[in-house]
């Protein structure tokens, strides 16, 4: 199976402009997946940027996991703290 290719986080932020409400549900899920990738890489600044742009912290991945699952599994306490501040499930 070929590796999963996602848009860069900066292109995800451009997807969120001006408002995530103007996009269809597919775009929201993809941005949620990009948030999970940023979390899995331990990229706190990118996580903050995506959340500030309206990325859905509660988006679930292919197996039902959220960004909080990824952060907790990676022992990324700083990212867990940020996600809990935005009430990520």
Alpha-carbon dihedral angle through residues 49, 8, 17, 24, given to the nearest 10 degrees: -120
pTM above 0.75, yes or no: no
Instruction: Provide the residue ranges of all domains of the chain, joining segments of one domain with +.
Output: 9-85
72 or 24: which carries more pLDDT confidence? 72
CB 67 within 8 A of CB 51: no
Tens digits of residue pLDDT in 66-85 = 888 889 988 999 999 999 99
pLDDT band at 4 (very low <50, low <70, confident <90, very high): very low
2 or 57: which carries more pLDDT confidence? 57
CATH code, residues 9-85: 1.25.40.20
pLDDT band at 88 (very low <50, low <70, confident <90, very high): low
């Amino acid at each position: 199976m070929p590796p999963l290719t996602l848009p860069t986080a900066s292109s995800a932020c451009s997807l969120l402009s001006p408002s995530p409400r103007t996009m269809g549900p597919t775009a929201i899920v993809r941005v949620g997946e990009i948030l999970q990738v940023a979390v899995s890489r331990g990229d706190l600044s990118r996580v903050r940027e995506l959340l500030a742009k309206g990325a859905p912290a509660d988006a679930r991945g292919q197996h039902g996991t959220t960004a909080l699952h990824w952060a907790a599994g990676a022992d990324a306490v700083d990212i867990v703290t940020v996600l809990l501040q935005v009430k990520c499930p």
